[in-house]
Amino acid sequence: MKIGVPKEIKNHEYRVGLTPESVQELSGRGHELAVQTGAGAGIGATDDAYLAAGAQILPDAGAVFGWADMIVKVKEPQAAERAMLRPGQILYTYLHLAPDPDQTRDLVASGAVCIAYETVTDAAGGLPLLKPMSQVAGRMSVQAGAAALEKSRGGRGVLLGGVPGVAPGRVVVIGGGVVGFNAAQMAVGLQADVTILDRNPAQLERLATHFGASARVLHSTQALMEDLLPRADLVIGAVLIPGAAAPKLVTRKMLATMQPGSVVVDVAIDQGGCFETSRATTHQDPIYVEEEVVHYCVANMPGGVARTATYALNNATLDHAIAIAGKGWQQALKDNAHLRAGLNVADGKITCAPVAEALGYDYHAAEALLG
């Protein structure tokens, strides 16, 4: 199969779909690969490194899209990229379609086969291709929140870990999944005062066992959030419903009770965000203020640590890329129900139920398209 890797064009997105090592794995199996010149610069991978791994270098995205049978990316295709997709071409990347009607419409119109990293499942019910980026984003959320709390950034001027004789900052993590767990680990490591909220009894037990006395683990209710938010310095939104838009758990009215200069970091912003006041920002312009509260809502947080994030992502995505390229997408999805769950759009049809429900499309089971 001809596999193309374009340079990412989302604002300050430095990751790349395939590392040179992944290219070598695929070329060693007889596949042809083409990488856009400079695509790996953000992770320190030169064109020469890709050439040595067995790829050819093409001058621009148009050449890559026009040549390839399968496009491997990191972030959802931007409008200019969507216009280059063609019927039957495979797109393997993050999509996050539920809060993005424009992208969904374009992908449906393209006729391309669109497999989303974030809805591929595993035998344990997890999201293995989303997990590494959730780990990165969860850890980054505390770094970003701590920086936004500095007075020069508009924050309250609170040091999360405090110092002897001065109380630490209060951190509330909404959601105890992969993002929330990693955020809490970082906040606890900084010696902040940490509270984790979740509604899943099994999750609560796991978190309580892991953190012990280092963090409070509480069953999430609206009343509890209304009690905690006015005293919080940093609130991290770490809620995910696979494939669907994130629920708005913190309303504007609730946000208005927070202290001026406190900070919210919405890691769920890729799925629309879990704060009513959230809107997507970029690494170039990451924060804004609503109700005197600093908001950090960067939609591609892991792009800021591109090398770590790219290698972590490739560790998770490569085996499925090998299967798709080696068997063709239909056979690969027939053979693997977990990969099949990643199919979001194919042949002009929506094949992910939460996306269809969120955006008002008819839902078509992936199995019906596999023959």
**DSSP assignment of 237-281, as one string?**
E----TTSPPP--B-HHHHTTSPTT-EEEEGGGGGT-SBTT---B
Higher pLDDT, 222 or 240: 222
- Residue 32, strand partner residues: 2
In this prediction the pTM is 0.90
pLDDT tens-digit profile of 334-357?
999 999 999 999 999 999 999 999
d(CA 283, CA 276): 21
d(CA 260, CA 271): 27
Residues 6 or more apart whose CB falls under 8 angstroms from that of 136 comprise 301, 302, 305, 308, 309, 312
What's the confidence (pLDDT) of residue 171? 98
d(CA 243, CA 4): 25
**Strands 343-346 vs 349-350: parallel, antiparallel or unpaired:** antiparallel
- Residue 290, strand partner residues: 293
What's the confidence (pLDDT) of residue 11? 87
Higher pLDDT, 41 or 245: 41
- CB atoms under 10 Å from CB of 117, counted, come to 23
Reading the block at residue 231, the tokens are 């005293």
Alpha helices, DSSP H only, in the chain?
A: 20-27, 47-53, 61-67, 79-82, 101-110, 131-148, 178-189, 201-211, 222-228, 252-255, 306-327, 329-335, 337-340, 353-359
Locate tokens 């990229």: which residue?
A: 81
Task: Answer yes or no: is pLDDT of 242 > 90.
Answer: no
Average predicted confidence (pLDDT) for the chain: 97
What's the confidence (pLDDT) of residue 243? 78
Mean pLDDT of 133-151: 97
**Cα–Cα separations (whole angstroms), residue 221 to 82, 92, 116, 205, 306:** 41, 37, 32, 17, 36
Percent of the chain with pLDDT over 90: 96
Q: What angle separates helix 131-148 from helix 178-189, to the nearest 10 degrees?
A: 40
Contact predicate 323/329, CB 8 Å? no
d(CA 56, CA 27): 11
Task: Answer yes or no: is pLDDT of 371 > 80.
Answer: no
SS3 track for 48-111: HHHHHHCCEEECCHHHHHHHCCEEECCCCCCHHHHCCCCCCCEEEECCCCCCCHHHHHHHHHHC
pLDDT tens-digit profile of 225-236?
999 999 999 999
Strand order in the sheet with 56-58: 56-58, 32-36, 2-5, 70-72, 90-93, 113-116, 343-346, 349-350
Q: Which residues are catalytic?
A: 96, 270
**Strands 32-36 vs 2-5: parallel, antiparallel or unpaired:** parallel
d(CA 236, CA 148): 12
Q: pLDDT class for 245, splitting at 50, 70, 90?
A: confident
pLDDT tens-digit profile of 320-334?
999 999 999 999 999
pLDDT tens-digit profile of 189-222?
999 999 999 999 999 999 999 999 999 999 999 9
Task: Answer yes or no: is pLDDT of 52 > 80.
Answer: yes
Mean pLDDT of 33-48: 98
Mean pLDDT of 238-249: 88
Structural domains for the chain? 2-119+305-369 (3.40.50.720), 131-299 (3.40.50.720)
Reading the block at residue 19, the tokens are 């590392």
What's the confidence (pLDDT) of residue 240? 84
| Torsion angles phi and psi, residue 295, rounded to 5 | -110, 130
Task: Answer yes or no: is pLDDT of 187 > 90.
Answer: yes
pLDDT tens-digit profile of 75-132?
999 999 999 999 999 999 999 999 999 999 999 999 999 999 999 999 998 999 999 9
Task: Answer yes or no: is pLDDT of 289 > 90.
Answer: yes
